[in-house]
């Protein structure tokens, strides 16, 4: 079943609820990851249909950021390149990039020290198609994130807060 791109955050929120959490009160990162994996297999209508485009992908990010008062955070992001906005006949037209973020913020704990000092701050964007290739890429991204002790610690810590956002990033 395909879903309109504008309702994609609602779809993710519904999946999170089926996994036992409101987007604003996630207390189990692994369960949130399972919900994210399920959400990443949902077909979204309105993305750029250009072959080999980076129209629908994901990234896992970690660190400390000013918008959450420098507290440790872990974010699961789905990025969509939306094709049905603007004038496609314009020679400078580009699809708009929209991101659905589930950000989980943690209290400072000894195990999370150094989360912002890891050489890598994310898994890098990945754009495999929905299906087995995407499932494999999600498995690989989780393994990549778990190579870093502070990220593994965040994955098993209880978030102090969480939130789901949806915004244009271009």
Return the domain boundaries, the chain: 2-168
Kindly report the pTM of this predicted structure.
0.93
- Using one digit for the tens of pLDDT, what is the confidence trace for 53-98? 789 999 999 999 998 898 999 999 999 998 877 666 777 767 889 9
Q: Where are the beta strands (DSSP E) in the chain?
A: 2-4, 43-45, 56-64, 72-82, 96-105, 161-168
How far, in Å, CA of 46 to CA of 61, rounded? 25
What's the token pair of residue 116? 């912002």
Predicted pLDDT of residue 92: 75
């Amino acid at each position: 079943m395909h879903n309109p791109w504008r309702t994609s955050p609602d779809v993710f929120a519904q999946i999170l609820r089926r996994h036992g959490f409101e987007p604003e009160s996630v207390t189990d990162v692994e369960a949130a990851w399972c919900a994210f994996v399920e959400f990443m297999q949902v077909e979204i209508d309105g993305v750029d249909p250009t072959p080999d485009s980076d129209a629908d992908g994901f990234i896992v990010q970690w660190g400390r950021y000013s918008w959450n008062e420098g507290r440790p955070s872990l974010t699961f992001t789905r990025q969509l390149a939306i094709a049905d906005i603007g004038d496609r006949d314009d020679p400078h037209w580009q699809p708009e990039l929209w991101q659905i973020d589930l950000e989980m913020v943690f209290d400072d704990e000894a195990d999370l020290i150094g989360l912002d000092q890891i050489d890598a701050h994310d898994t890098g964007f990945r754009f495999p198609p929905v299906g087995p290739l995407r499932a494999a890429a999600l498995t690989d991204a989780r393994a990549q994130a778990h190579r870093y002790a502070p990220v593994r610690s965040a994955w098993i810590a209880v978030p102090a807060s969480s939130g789901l956002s949806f915004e244009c990033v271009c």
